[in-house]
Structure 1
């Protein structure tokens, strides 16, 4: 056999070997990927296929413990809302494969622990009321209306105010311009949102003296351990606004 013949034989053998490796590798990859389909319209007794999806994320986690996939366990979510009543917990002991969560093409699934508030009544003048469900035993800070986060009652309604000057410690209190803050009968629950450089501080208000035009926060405004977080550390008249008072509805 000539050298050219030997080279052709060697090249052919290499190509066949590589082809077998690629084929076998793809086969192993295909067998190592496990897909589970989920839809709000599904049923947890279904097998979890595209045509027969399961419904809940809890069922996904329960079944994941039995998956032996060495490559990836892919959870495909259809469009819709997936309610959860507790924290979803993941661990290496639960699943040996890599878990991937993804939406189906064109879908926008929402995983939410939110509690639906129903029975809204129009009280007039732009105000609505509703009874809170019994499961809401603690104060909540966010309200979503048709999947859009509602803006808390704030003052001013848009933009911000400018601090007149800082108090003596330059950390916990400041003076405001005349007419900037409307008088409020009760400051309990009132919150100050104070803008630093690119960050903000959100802190409860302890007291407001409208005669002296003086506002006192419950604690230090800004990071306590950093000196440059003094009220005037970034600019002499920093921005701020207030939230969470019934009077700010108007």
Structure 2
């Protein structure tokens, strides 16, 4: 932990004594990349500033002594491509690189573009007659000579909702789920007008995850309709055994909602983009003036990539006081979206006819996954930190320490309006690695180690893929998740571990302490405010406050808990965690977990100290 502490002492020093930096580079939305990069003549782009700093380091220029400070002035920095940070950008302990806002500035790095030219009214007959005068219409902008296709839109900073069958939060129970025919049977009422909707999608509620399926056809058979879907998601949805929708469960059948059709545009705040014309239709909320409104749609899925290697990691880069916003997530439009857990899309999955792997005799399913898209991706790095940054209006993962990151961290940041997981850390073996096979790296540097996630607010995440989480950590060692507030989530709050295995994989000494998790499991169950998987010797879960476990209206069972030790969790000390009731569960845990004093009897002093330190 000493190394992690040193990271944030260094960050504090950078903030307090930035005047000591030998090399300063200024960037402004009103600048010019032909300028000198000084305060009086700033550059226009952060890319150019990074190149200047890289050249100073390559030449060992005098500006390198004491460190380099790239200062961003107030304004919006629109990215046409992701920022690329590489090993050549690395600083040193005595000469770090700080990328930060100038005093009292609020720079925003955006992957979005404005939609302008709105006109009131539509003559499209697919819109109800009484609504045609209320709907506004605009053409999607062109970027690189191509029309921007999008699944996200923000109006005056508020996320608009894609046109849907029901108001937000409502679904309907399906009638049948047929894996052999690859069909879902639903009630016919309300869908007669959707038979010719060419871009229609179905959101399927399935225990601890959702699926987003592109509708291929609807066969109306009286009061029931049979729905077929496009490939590849149809095969994945009906072949993978966990999780699948259920029929006749203790609290009813699984649920669904149809979305993304102009015929469904009937509520203020809803929108629809027609393909291939690119026309965008929007039904304004009360008080929105579309002649003056700021409407943003995203172009980029990723805003920044920091890409190092084990041999040449990126070192000593610190970002402070910057807002990252407006990223896209297009996977469901191109190939649907069927996940295993935690928002990880399936590449392939099926049930074994005869259960068993050498490592796990009772295993009945196989699954290969890929990693979700992310706004900020960091790989192969040491001492790569974020402080006082904001991550907002993002469509998939906010920040991902993906692989071989050590002695790094995220502190005093805000994650809000994120479609997927707020912060993702560590290995979740993907591609050709079957996800239930224990991941035991030959080189322990492949793991993310000594990562600190501290004093952050993570709220209103998981708002597109409900099965994502607030903070998700896979194969990690020495992670410190403490004093965060994690709230308003559709599934679990803080999740640590992966692999469903009792074998030793390098996961160890993980710490989940003094966090405040509340208003979680709003839509999905089989959830935990604090959730763990697999053996993690030397780990602790203590002094947390967990409350407001929601009554998910379409859950098919009651499996949601304040603390949930899922399969093979072992090596944890769980103590002094406050929650209003002893609603805990374990799924085949190991025998080295220690429980001490958890529930409503925990002292108020511990309860009231959990969460962000303000």
Q: Same fold (TM over 0.5)?
A: yes
Query: Which residue is equivalent to 1:229?
Result: 243
**SS of 1:228's equivalent?**
coil
Query: Which residue is equivalent to 1:183?
Result: 193
- Say yes or no: does 1:164 pair with 2:174: yes
Q: 1:133 aligns with which of 135, 141, 156?
A: 141
- Say yes or no: does 1:217 pair with 2:217: no
8 Å contact kept, 2:154–2:160? yes
User: Which runs of structure 2 are paired with 1:14-163 in the superposition (5 Å)?
Assistant: 34-50=23-39, 52-68=41-57, 69=64, 72-93=67-88, 95-97=89-91, 98-123=96-121, 125-135=133-143, 136-137=146-147, 139-163=149-173
Give the unaligned 5+ runs of structure 2: 1-13, 58-63, 122-131, 267-614
Q: Which has the higher contact order (CA 8 A, sep 6+)?
A: 1
Give the unaligned 5+ runs of structure 1: 1-25
Aligned residue pairs, count: 222
Query: Which residue is equivalent to 2:548?
Result: none
1:15-58 Cα shifts (integer Å, max 9, x gaps): xxxxxxxxxxx9xx976664433222333344434454332223
- Kindly state the Cα deviation for residue 193 of structure 1 after the two structures are TM-superposed: 1.4
User: Which runs of structure 2 are paired with 1:196-211 in the superposition (5 Å)?
Assistant: 196-211=206-221
8 Å contact kept, 1:80–1:110? yes
| Higher mean C-alpha deviation, range 76-85 or range 231-240 | 231-240
| Higher mean C-alpha deviation, range 33-42 or range 117-126 | 33-42
- For residues 225 and 64 of structure 1, the distance between their equivalents in structure 2, rounded to whole angstroms, comes to 51
In structure 2, relative to structure 1, the CA distance for the partners of 1:182 and 1:158 (3 Å cut) is farther
In structure 2, relative to structure 1, the CA distance for the partners of 1:65 and 1:171 (3 Å cut) is farther
Q: Larger helix proportion, structure 1 or 2?
A: 1
The RMSD of aligned alpha carbons is 3.3
**SS of 1:115's equivalent?**
strand
8 Å contact kept, 1:201–1:221? no
- Kindly state the Cα deviation for residue 133 of structure 1 after the two structures are TM-superposed: 3.3
**SS of 1:242's equivalent?**
strand
- For residues 168 and 96 of structure 1, the distance between their equivalents in structure 2, rounded to whole angstroms, comes to 54
In structure 2, relative to structure 1, the CA distance for the partners of 1:226 and 1:134 (3 Å cut) is closer
- Say yes or no: does 1:243 pair with 2:259: yes
8 Å contact kept, 2:73–2:102? yes
- Kindly state the Cα deviation for residue 156 of structure 1 after the two structures are TM-superposed: 0.9
- Kindly state the Cα deviation for residue 189 of structure 1 after the two structures are TM-superposed: 0.9
**SS of 1:65's equivalent?**
helix
- For residues 83 and 91 of structure 1, the distance between their equivalents in structure 2, rounded to whole angstroms, comes to 21
**SS of 1:188's equivalent?**
coil
8 Å contact kept, 2:72–2:102? yes
1:185-215 Cα shifts (integer Å, max 9, x gaps): 4131111112223432112011112333222
- Say yes or no: does 1:195 pair with 2:205: yes
**SS of 2:112's equivalent?**
coil
- For residues 67 and 254 of structure 2, the distance between their equivalents in structure 1, rounded to whole angstroms, comes to 51
8 Å contact kept, 2:27–2:72? yes
- Kindly state the Cα deviation for residue 71 of structure 1 after the two structures are TM-superposed: 6.4
1:157-204 Cα shifts (integer Å, max 9, x gaps): 322322332232179422223425352241311111122234321120
1:65-114 Cα shifts (integer Å, max 9, x gaps): 22333765443333321112223222113x23254433345544322232
- TM-score of the superposition, structure 2-length normalised? 0.32
Query: Which residue is equivalent to 2:342?
Result: none
Q: 2:183 aligns with which of 150, 164, 173?
A: 173
- For residues 32 and 178 of structure 1, the distance between their equivalents in structure 2, rounded to whole angstroms, comes to 67
8 Å contact kept, 2:177–2:246? no
- Kindly state the Cα deviation for residue 119 of structure 1 after the two structures are TM-superposed: 1.3
